[in-house]
Chains A and B, each alone.
Chain A
């Protein structure tokens, strides 16, 4: 398996623009997590899905952030409108929910810069 695939790897956008980050989970993994990493706040959980259903979105910072998982093979994280403080590395991670105490596999991340 190619692992968790995120796209794009880098994104530079202007303040006010819409940004969409994409994630393809490992085949067979039924839990998907979106994390954000910054120097100040470290790694933070934004939202996670089980079997394509959003379970906990309490980490989503504002209404400008939204996430969807239309099927088991694809998820998106959208920021609209984007602001400079959204600049961060965004990671998608997936795991097999049916197995306890097993690792979450992370993608390579999307480095977002909002200017």
Chain B
């Protein structure tokens, strides 16, 4: 049973455009929702995270929108740049991250110059 569903699998966006990646979760006990960015040959690195008592969190060009009633959250990348080309994973965890992360399958993002 896939507890965190992520879409799309791949995404191509023009430079300067907005990249949007969506995730949905099933377990209402999840209370910590991070997004990780992974470049080829590297480990995932935290990009931004949110708790369910907040509907939106913004850090620079990256914004998480969270809809608790729908059990959905999304990542928006504004003014997308070629350097943003990577694989993005949404994740969810209980205990504020203490119990390990359940990851979505990932989105391969390509920003075209």
Contacts and interface: CB of A to CB of B under 8 A. Distances in A.
Contacts of A108: 41-43
Contacts of B43: 4, 91, 93, 106-109
Interface string B87-107: 001000001111111111110
B51 A101 contact: yes
Nearest to B51: A101
Contacts of B82: none
Interface stretch (A40-48, A63-71, A79-87): A40-48
Interface of A is mostly: strand
Interface residues of A, number: 24
Nearest to A111: B41
B49 A101 contact: yes
A61 B80 CA distance: 38
Contact of A42 (B45, B95, B97, B105): B105
Given A101-B49, A103-B34, A104-B101, A43 B96 contact: no
B102 A45 contact: yes
B45 A106 contact: yes
Interface of B: 32, 34, 36, 41-46, 49, 51, 89, 95-106
| CB-CB nearest 7 A-B residue pairs | A106-B43, A100-B96, A103-B46, A43-B103, A45-B100, A42-B105, A101-B96
